[in-house]
Amino acid sequence: MSNWTTLTEFLLLGFSDTRELQILHVVIFLAAYLAALVGNLLVITVVTTDHHLHRPMYCFLANLSILDLGSISVIVPKSMANSLLNTRTISYAGCVSQVFLFFLFSEANLAFLTIMAYDRYVAICKPLHYEIIINRRACVQMAACAWAAGAIKSALHTGNTFSLPFCHSNIINQFFCEIPQLLKLSCSDTYRRELAALAFSVFLALGSFAFIVVSYVQIFTAVWSIPSEQGQQKAFSTCIPRLMVVSLLLSTAIIAYTKPISDSPSPLDLLAAVLYSVVPPLMNPVIYSMRNREIQAALRKLLHRLIHSKSNMSIFLS
């Protein structure tokens, strides 16, 4: 492949050349994908159908679930299909789409995690001003800004990456189109422009993480001053898992996007990619939504309505 104009496809890294291990990879990814699909769809469904949940916090949770569904759907089905068909190819257009959509969903996801930390900070530390600060208009504006920021940054990175000529190879040592792996294939020195853009994104991600940590520290401080052991335990059980998920997402993503790219496939690179691309969409519904009592109550009501309507349908048909 001597020129980017003749490049029509890339070859992705498979998890194994052994058929049994390929099937195992499909089974594991399918289980993770279905779990993420069911969990996030349940959150979206209960938030949209229960009018008691039409509040800013649950609006943010529904958006987070949409983004999680999008990010895992962009990469996992293609990886499973390649293992089932015993192939490694992805088209040039497919690779462009994968990079753009994954970056869009991931960047907007981080923005919503930051917004949600701020939302909880205002709700707990400034409860009397919550409805003034986090009103419906502010909710819509913050959500729109998160999606717009994700789209702009994604377009920037995708445009920078695919404007480069690829002539070293068409083999990507990753199970999806990852920007650092694509930059390694470039034969132009202009790839440094995208490296600078990635460095700026890492800086912004660290800034978001610092904001999230400070928000939860403020929440801890506020709750700790209240002499309620139950309230303190609830705050810790809510905030600590959220910080762990955000830390896992950012640490593995930053490692993947900043460490030097090796010429040979690395199991650690695969593991890091799985940890920041597959695990968060699987864990976020549990950590952020399913442990919430109001969502649990709404989910029980939804299941009750479904069972009741199914029973009535059975009676009608009989």
pTM: 0.89
What is the predicted pLDDT for the residue at 248?
86
Structure tokens at 162: 């695919």
What is the predicted pLDDT for the residue at 228?
67
Q: When comparing pLDDT for 67 and 2, which is higher?
A: 67
Per-residue model confidence as pLDDT tens digits over 169-189: 788 888 999 988 888 888 777
Band of residue 66 on the pLDDT scale cut at 50, 70, 90? very high
- Domain 4-313: CATH superfamily is Rhodopsin 7-helix transmembrane proteins (1.20.1070.10)
Backbone angles phi, psi at 171, to 5 degrees: -95, 120
How many angstroms separate the CA atoms of 98 and 9, rounded? 13
How many angstroms separate the CA atoms of 149 and 103, rounded? 11
In one letter, which amino acid is 15? F
pLDDT tops 70 at residue 5: no
DSSP 291: T
Judge contact between 225 and 127, C-beta under 8 A: no
What is the predicted pLDDT for the residue at 138?
92
Q: When comparing pLDDT for 55 and 308, which is higher?
A: 55
Structure tokens at 201: 């994104």
What is the predicted pLDDT for the residue at 315?
57
Mean pLDDT of the chain: 86
How many angstroms separate the CA atoms of 11 and 171, rounded? 5
Cα 51 off chain centre by = 26
Average pLDDT for 49-72: 92
pLDDT tops 90 at residue 73: yes
Per-residue model confidence as pLDDT tens digits over 199-253: 888 888 899 999 999 998 888 888 777 766 666 676 677 778 888 888 888 888 8
pLDDT tops 50 at residue 2: no
Q: Which residues contact 271 (CB under 8 A, 6 or more apart)?
A: none
How many angstroms separate the CA atoms of 48 and 143, rounded? 16
Per-residue model confidence as pLDDT tens digits over 155-171: 999 998 898 888 767 88
Percent of the chain scoring above 70 in pLDDT: 89
pLDDT tops 70 at residue 51: yes
